[in-house]
Homo-oligomer: A and B are copies of this chain.
């Protein structure tokens, strides 16, 4: 949350530096590295050298250091004294820990979203998951299906209107984001997940908040069970 404040020109500041080449702020560097790590464009276990990053972003080491500190607080990198920062590699137990938490937290998000948003909010999403997305799965266009899935997930979290919850889900989701691609290719998994989303959206369209919560919880639990069953093929 300490982002999105690019530059506030509060008042008349004369002689803005002619050099339009403004250096990136620490928050921007943090955000950049965050997405790179979440998408595994930087491999787990890789070393993040302060000097290298300072050269790459064209900023001083102090600012890199600040960004690395933020990454450490969020559990994305591990800092070893005098040895630098390495991208945290998530072990199996932590993955299951996170899925146990996602069960209840995303269930809560579904309940709150149902309570806070008008019932008709979910009509179009329901239609999409019943029709076009089924075709997408049948044709094996899984990446596009994932995009719709994540869009719905974000829409639900936003409708839940609980910033603390949103922040928490962000923090844990970014750690296991890469696993979705590996889970969804498991036999029958994509279609099972789609049906669960249809059931949840139907409950949400009827305003049945607690039912939506239960369905979402069970959906994530089944995803966790699939992960346990096929863990040797995934990790």
Q: Give the residue of B79, B81, B100, B164 whose beta carbon is less than 8 angstroms from that of A162.
A: B100
- Give chain B nearest CB distance to A175 CB in angstroms: 9
- A105 on interface, CB distance cutoff 8 Å: yes
User: What are some 27 contacts across the A-B interface (CB < 8 A)?
Assistant: A1-B75, A2-B72, A2-B73, A2-B79, A5-B81, A66-B69, A69-B73, A70-B73, A73-B73, A73-B74, A94-B163, A97-B162, A97-B163, A97-B164, A98-B164, A100-B108, A100-B112, A100-B162, A100-B165, A101-B105, A101-B164, A101-B168, A103-B108, A104-B104, A104-B107, A104-B108, A164-B172
Proximity string of chain A (152-181) to chain B, C-beta cutoff 8 Å, 1 when within and 0 when not: 000000000011110010001000000000
Using a CB–CB cutoff of 8 Å, the interface residues on chain A facing chain B are 1-2, 5, 66, 69-70, 72-75, 79, 81, 94, 97-98, 100-101, 103-105, 107-108, 112, 162-165, 168, 172
A70: chain B residues within 8 A (beta carbon): 69, 73
Bound-state Cα–Cα, A79 to B5, Å? 12
- Give chain B nearest CB distance to A10 CB in angstroms: 10
Chain B's closest residue to A66 (CB) is B69
A79: chain B residues within 8 A (beta carbon): 2
- Beyond contacts A2-B73, A97-B162: 20 other A-B pairs, Cβ-Cβ < 8 A, are A1-B75, A2-B72, A5-B81, A69-B70, A69-B73, A70-B73, A73-B73, A73-B74, A94-B164, A97-B163, A97-B164, A97-B165, A100-B108, A101-B105, A101-B108, A101-B164, A104-B104, A104-B107, A104-B108, A105-B105
Chain B's closest residue to A7 (CB) is B81
Bound-state Cα–Cα, A101 to B108, Å? 8
Bound-state Cα–Cα, A2 to B107, Å? 30
- Give chain B nearest CB distance to A130 CB in angstroms: 29
A5: chain B residues within 8 A (beta carbon): 81
Bound-state Cα–Cα, A101 to B106, Å? 11
- B168 with A168: CB separation less than 8 A: yes
- Give chain B nearest CB distance to A154 CB in angstroms: 18
